[in-house]
């Protein structure tokens, strides 16, 4: 199947794009549609690479607006954990479907996910047409005996994810160092290495996590994880707010990716953001994520990239910190080997967006600055993954049915 995009705008030039079997095979001013191609008329639209959401819990769309403005532990204990205890596998399927609709509408074509019933995330990703690095969250409450019992289930979920098709990348999702024992983390690192798959974990989100780690293990969180073999080139470390210079050097040396989650950090008032200037100076691989909807409260990477850039300027008291083009590169997954975003070039996956160039936010000025500081996800007109059109004219298939399903399920889970 060949998809041809005609009359689109790229770097101020009118261009065409042809994609065959999911890959860009031609791009430029002379590229036109051939007879028999599926044609997308992109007149007035800007062709642009998609966003990659580096850390989320997609199915938490079920808990949007449930317990906002609360302290983290109180919120988890009184709202999220009791509601999650009622979660059925089907809830996770539908919650993820809704997250995918939201991501497609705001220009994200790939996400890294960690959630309960991870095996149910895979069919939701497949049915939505996006790409995802999927993991089922692993928590043994620091009890290695419990961890031991989880092992067959962890392997079974990985095997199921491995059969979920080319758009699902199986991975492991130990929750954090304060919820998973050292023995289980060491075993998970071995499995990740054996299968050459990504491992996702929360790291240094709060200052308390660092203090507790120092007290329990005599080292800071990154050093502790490294000792267990967890930090490698396929490791995704979410948050990283309290990482110090030595930890960032270690993470850079290992090739692991740190994912910033500025909206969640500010909403939960953790007291800081990822130290981007130090992370960049250390040469660490970087990504950007929304975290779950329950702590954000949306999945719009255009909004997140603005918060990323602004929070870094604010924290460093320097407006030249994290310029727009670099913030965009991070948000597109281009600064991480494991998130592996794609560029617009021949031979790359045919994942791209068509943006409404005539929208007020994009009507004048530097294109990168407009995308970061002015635009929201609503400027996205068309979303394409592997040459397949998932949204055209802001219309995503089955969106109404998915919203209705999630609304009913959210009501059952939260009572709201």
With CB atoms as reference, the residue minimizing the distance to Zn ion is 291
Nearer to Zn ion, 205 or 405 (CB): 205
Least separation in angstroms between residue 272's CB and Zn ion is 16
**Residues shown for the chain:** 416
Query: 260 forms bridges with which residues in the sheet?
Result: 288
Least separation in angstroms between residue 190's CB and Zn ion is 24
Tokens linked to 183: 């023995």
Tokens linked to 117: 């019933």
Nearer to Zn ion, 72 or 142 (CB): 72
Q: What is the number of other CB atoms lying within 10 angstroms of the CB of residue 232?
A: 16
Question: CA 355, CA 18: separation in Å to the nearest integer?
Answer: 18
Question: CA 312, CA 363: separation in Å to the nearest integer?
Answer: 26
Tokens linked to 122: 């895979």
Nearer to Zn ion, 291 or 405 (CB): 291
Least separation in angstroms between residue 173's CB and Zn ion is 10
Nearer to Zn ion, 304 or 351 (CB): 304
Query: 199 forms bridges with which residues in the sheet?
Result: 172, 235
Indicate the pairing of strand 199-203 with strand 131-138: unpaired
Least separation in angstroms between residue 300's CB and Zn ion is 17
Nearer to Zn ion, 209 or 291 (CB): 291
Question: CA 126, CA 166: separation in Å to the nearest integer?
Answer: 9
Least separation in angstroms between residue 168's CB and Zn ion is 19
Nearer to Zn ion, 202 or 220 (CB): 202
Angle at 138 between CA 206 and CA 83, to 5 degrees: 80
Least separation in angstroms between residue 209's CB and Zn ion is 13
Q: Are 268 and 295 in contact (CB under 8 A)?
A: yes
Binding interface with Zn ion (CB under 5 A) = 291
């Amino acid at each position: 199947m060949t998809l041809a995009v005609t009359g689109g705008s790229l770097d101020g030039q009118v261009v065409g794009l042809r994609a065959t079997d999911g890959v860009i095979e031609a791009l430029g001013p002379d590229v036109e549609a051939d007879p028999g191609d599926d044609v997308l008329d992109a007149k007035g639209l800007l062709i642009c690479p998609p966003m990659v959401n580096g850390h989320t819990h997609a199915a938490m769309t079920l808990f949007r607006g449930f317990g906002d403005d609360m302290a983290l532990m109180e919120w988890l204990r009184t709202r999220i954990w009791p509601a999650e205890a009622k979660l059925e596998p089907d809830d996770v399927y539908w919650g993820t479907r809704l997250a995918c609709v939201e991501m497609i509408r705001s220009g994200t074509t790939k996400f890294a996910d960690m959630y309960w019933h991870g095996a149910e995330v895979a069919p939701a990703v497949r049915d939505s047409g996006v790409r995802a690095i999927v993991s089922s969250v692993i928590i043994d409450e620091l009890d290695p005996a419990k961890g031991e019992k989880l092992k067959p289930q962890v392997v079974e979920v990985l095997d199921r994810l491995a059969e979920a098709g080319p758009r699902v990348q199986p991975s492991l999702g130990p929750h954090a160092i304060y919820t998973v024992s050292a023995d289980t983390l060491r075993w998970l690192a071995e499995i990740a290495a054996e299968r050459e798959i990504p491992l996702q974990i929360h790291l240094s989100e709060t200052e308390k996590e660092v203090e507790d780690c120092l007290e329990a293990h005599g080292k800071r969180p990154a050093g502790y994880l490294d000792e267990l073999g967890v930090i490698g080139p396929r490791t995704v470390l979410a948050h990283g707010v309290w990482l110090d210079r030595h930890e960032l050097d270690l993470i850079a040396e290992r090739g692991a990716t740190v994912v910033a989650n500025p909206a969640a950090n500010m909403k939960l008032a953790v007291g800081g953001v990822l130290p981007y200037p130090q992370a960049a100076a250390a040469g660490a691989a970087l990504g950007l994520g929304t975290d779950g909807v329950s702590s954000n409260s949306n999945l719009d990477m255009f909004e997140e990239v603005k918060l990323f850039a602004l929070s870094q300027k604010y924290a460093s008291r320097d407006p030249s910190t994290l310029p727009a083009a670099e913030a965009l590169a991070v948000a597109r997954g281009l600064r991480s080997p494991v998130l592996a975003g794609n560029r617009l070039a021949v031979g790359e996956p045919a994942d791209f967006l068509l943006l409404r160039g005539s929208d007020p936010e994009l009507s004048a000025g530097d294109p990168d600055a407009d995308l970061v500081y002015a635009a929201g996800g609503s400027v996205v007109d068309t979303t394409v993954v592997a040459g397949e059109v998932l949204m055209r004219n802001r219309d995503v298939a089955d969106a109404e049915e998915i919203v209705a399903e999630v609304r009913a399920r959210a009501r059952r889970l939260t009572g709201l």
